[in-house]
Amino acid sequence: MTHYLFTIALLPPAVFALFWAVKRKKHTGMAAGFWFDMFLVTLGVCALLAALAYPDSAASFLFLVCAALVFAFLLLFGVYILLGLLLWNTVQMLKRERPSLKHMLTLILALAILALMALPWVLGKSGLFPWLYPLWMALLGTAVFFALHSLVFLTAFYVGKWFPPRKRVDYIVVLGSGLIDGKVPPLLAGRVDAALRYAARQKRKTGREPCLIMSGGQGADEPRPEAEAMRVCPSRFRGQ
């Protein structure tokens, strides 16, 4: 048993090494998020197997109890937590950006999840559920796929923040996202601030100042190009 557990314990470091190799090759991208999730999964499975192999240990018993409680909590309330986060994100986006379809995608996703949850009850009342059960399963599978895709995307986002690139870049490209009345909205201003903050830290650490490239054209409803507005928008990091 000990030899078996030792062999299994080699899996998480191997997966983490693969994640690190992918991240070093391409810092941004979904692949790094996917392999970091795989590392967490293998680490959790190894811990669970170790706890099951030594159930008499107090640490193993405590781990199994905590794992069971977390699993039960997510099973009972996970979907409601997801709905709350999606609605919260919609509110934050509408506070920072103009109302548009792309800024309300999380609201649409939340409504779709609610509809998917209510569909079996509605179809059951009408007597059509047995006939449309395959369609409901297909929709459920699609929802699970997009949920996992969103999880990988969020992991990739936070991995980029936890493991920032080394401070030796030559260029930083800041992507535009639209202006409101010719002014930079809070969400876009946050991007400019992040770029300026990174450039200031690199200059302090290495003396090497990267070139910032503001990217964005001029829409039909915008009085000036986004790049121009981003270049002159106020920031507490300018000049550092």
Q: pTM (2 decimals)?
A: 0.68
Cα separation, 187 vs 92, whole angstroms: 10
Kindly give the confidence (pLDDT) of every residue in the chain, 240 residues in length, as a single tens digit, with 9 standing for 90 and above.
556 666 777 888 899 999 988 888 776 778 888 999 899 888 888 888 777 777 777 777 787 788 888 888 877 777 788 888 888 888 877 777 777 776 777 888 888 888 888 877 777 777 766 777 777 788 778 878 887 888 888 888 888 877 776 767 888 888 887 787 778 888 888 888 888 888 888 888 888 888 888 888 877 777 888 888 888 776 655 544
> 224: closest CA among 177, 186, 183?
183
Please give the pLDDT value at position 235: 63
Please give the pLDDT value at position 210: 86
Per the listing, tokens 């829409």 go with 219
Amino acid at 223: P
User: Strand pairing partners for 183?
Assistant: 180
Please give the pLDDT value at position 49: 79
Per the listing, tokens 């910032």 go with 212
DSSP 3-state of 219: coil
- Backbone angle region of 180, left / alpha / beta, with phi > 0 → left and psi within -120 to 50 → alpha: beta
Burial of 11 (0-12, 13-18, 19+ CB in 10 A): middle
Both tokens assigned to 44: 């959790």
Please give the pLDDT value at position 4: 64
